[in-house]
Amino acid sequence: MLWRVRATLPERPGALAALAAECGAAGVNILGVQVFPGIEAVTDELVLSTPDAWTAADLVDLVGRAGAESVIAAPCTEAALTDQPTRYVQAARAVLETPASFPEVVAALLDADVLPVGDSQDVMEMTVGAVQVQIRRDAPFTATEHARGSAMADLVNDVLGREQHHPHHPAFVLSDNRRMGAGSSPAYHVEGRSAVASIEGVRVGLATLREAGPDLPDVLPVDLEVDPAWQRRGIGTRLLSDAARLANGLGAEAILLTTRSDNQAVMPMVMAAGMRGRIRMAGDALTVRIAVRDLRPLPVAQP
């Protein structure tokens, strides 16, 4: 059976050798080692092979006898034996292809989760533009892993920066619809719980606030849609901003935007709107929670 074990060893000569000796005496095979250096202690991550009857508690006891502290053991698969530089290259390629996949990619890279699993998990927070991305896991993140996470976030910032300066690479595929009033500027107004954009009297964009759910009574989901023929013109950014201000006027704490995980326009749109958001990815869905309490309220249109 394969296990991933993370432990803190004292920074002294022979510490890892003592651990190897304990494993050898118990018939446990060390298949992989990754070292995260520190000043007074070193965090080691090992992939161990044990007989099928072994439990996580057995491994914690074994590694503890070698002088290790903060030992965490969990079953793993052969994927844990993948070469680490190869994993990071593959992760970088995935982020370059789909920047919005960053939360899921970096979580997998650091053996973490995007969504909370328990109350005692350690949290790593990274910033992409104005978007805060959080990942978490039971084992504390090391300084080396924080640096790696920041480097991956910088990569996303670079990619999104290039997208903003190269509009000939659109995040949306434009439709063949006729571009009505190509020289006209959009007009924006509020209809009930919706922020509306129109061109020459024709509606081209809409952001509608739905009712809050029982689990998040202070968070209003928002449905945002822009005619494909009018995307990449800042309409979505303006509508998102107006919807956020409208939500503030309704007494909400935040809005929640949900879209496909492969929608590359979401992060640039939130960044361009200048608002603080937290992005999460789960399966095929990407959600962004944007705080609205510090925004200037937008009056709600009266029926």
CATH of the domain at 217: 3.40.630.30
Are 71 and 158 in the same domain?
Answer: no
CATH of the domain at 34: 3.30.70.260
DSSP 191-209: ETTEEEEEETTEEEEEEEE
H or E segment and range at residue 97: helix 84-97
Nearest of 233, 224, 225, 235 to residue 187 by alpha carbon: 235
Quick one: pLDDT at residue 30? 93
Are 53 and 37 in the same domain?
Answer: yes
Longest dimension (CA), the chain: 80
H or E segment and range at residue 155: helix 143-165
Assess if residue 59 is contained within a domain: yes
Assess if residue 279 is contained within a domain: yes
Are 21 and 116 in the same domain?
Answer: no
- Walking along the chain (303 residues) 10 residues at a time, the average pLDDT comes out as 88 85 93 81 89 93 90 85 84 80 85 74 82 82 87 82 50 36 73 90 91 89 87 84 90 88 69 71 77 80 53
Quick one: pLDDT at residue 120? 65
For the chain, the domain total comes to 3
Residue 62 belongs to what domain range? 2-81
Assess if residue 233 is contained within a domain: yes
Are 75 and 150 in the same domain?
Answer: no
Are 102 and 75 in the same domain?
Answer: no
Assess if residue 182 is contained within a domain: no
Quick one: pLDDT at residue 302? 53
The residue among 81, 106, 132 that closes a domain is: 81
Are 281 and 203 in the same domain?
Answer: yes
The residue among 57, 81, 105 that closes a domain is: 81
The residue among 131, 165, 199 that closes a domain is: 165
Assess if residue 229 is contained within a domain: yes
Assess if residue 239 is contained within a domain: yes
Are 196 and 263 in the same domain?
Answer: yes
Contacts of 135 (CB under 8 A, 6+ apart): 103, 106, 107, 110, 112, 113, 114, 123, 124, 126, 149
Are 191 and 285 in the same domain?
Answer: yes
- Cα separation, 189 vs 245, in Å, equals 12
Are 94 and 73 in the same domain?
Answer: no
Quick one: pLDDT at residue 167? 43
C-alpha 86: how far from its chain's center? 21
